[in-house]
Amino acid sequence: MNYLYFIRHAESEANKKRILASWLPFPLTDEGREDARRIAAELKETVPINRIISSPLLRAMQTAEAFSTVYGQTVQTDERLSEQNQGRYSGMSYDVVKLEAEYEADPLQRWDWVPRGNGESYEMVAERVDSFLNSMEIETDEKENSDRHTLIVTHAVVFRLLRAVLENTLPYYPKDFPNNGEIWKVEFHKVGFQHRIESILLGNSRQFIHNP
């Protein structure tokens, strides 16, 4: 079996300050670092992670490093797991950006909306999410017939598109996404298969919601 565990990075300074982090190097808060360590320790009690893949953005890497320490696994990076590039809106607060006339405030209307300043539409993010999951399918075919447990550290918008790809609903995708530190467990088969997603709440993800 090929089990994928997707985790939204722990609380970052951008989450705490309600800022669109985009591709900017926002670190985890002190609480976020501690929560990442706590979640990693709790997960290790029941799940034998044997591979860690992370978005290269700082907040994701700092989350992944907590799991690397606990599990003794090196962290691989994959740019396809990076958050949506928000273009000129990167670094703006949620309150300020909603005053921008050209900003699409409705998350469900962002499929083909491209933020000015070389930003990405949700469709563009979905293409790299689809590509990433296809690569996981190919790698599974090449491995021996044994259980694999892969932890994948990524971001909020990516989670919206991940769910749509995994449940085979594109171009429709959910408005909601997980709490910081929440984990989605999937027995992965292939892109195009309608997967069942199990939510795992550990650490502070049981208590706090950081969705804008």
Give the mean pLDDT of 34-42: 97
What is the pLDDT at residue 204? 81
CATH number, domain containing residue 135? 3.40.50.1240
- Around 108, how many Cα atoms within 13 Å sit in the side-chain half-sphere? 5
Give the mean pLDDT of 43-72: 97
Greatest C-alpha distance within the chain: 53
Give the mean pLDDT of 89-102: 94
Provide DSSP, 140-199. Answer: HHHS-SS-EEEEEEE-HHHHHHHHHHHTT-TT---S--PPTT-EEEEE---TTS---EEE
Residue 128 counted as domain residue: yes
Confidence of residue 210 (pLDDT cuts 50, 70, 90): very low
What is the pLDDT at residue 205? 75
Phi-psi region of 15 (alpha: psi -120 to 50; beta: other; left: phi over 0): alpha
Work out how many domains the chain is built from and give that number.
1
Name the pTM for this structure: 0.93
What is the pLDDT at residue 141? 54
SS (H, E, C) 34-96: HHHHHHHHHHHCCCCCCEEEECCCHHHHHHHHHHHHHHCCCEEECHHHCCCCCHHHCCCEHHH
Residue 211 counted as domain residue: no
pLDDT of 75 strictly over 70: yes
Residue 7 counted as domain residue: yes
pLDDT of 78 strictly over 50: yes
DSSP label at residue 118: T
Residue 135 counted as domain residue: yes
Q: Which domain holds residue 147?
A: 2-206
Residue 212 counted as domain residue: no
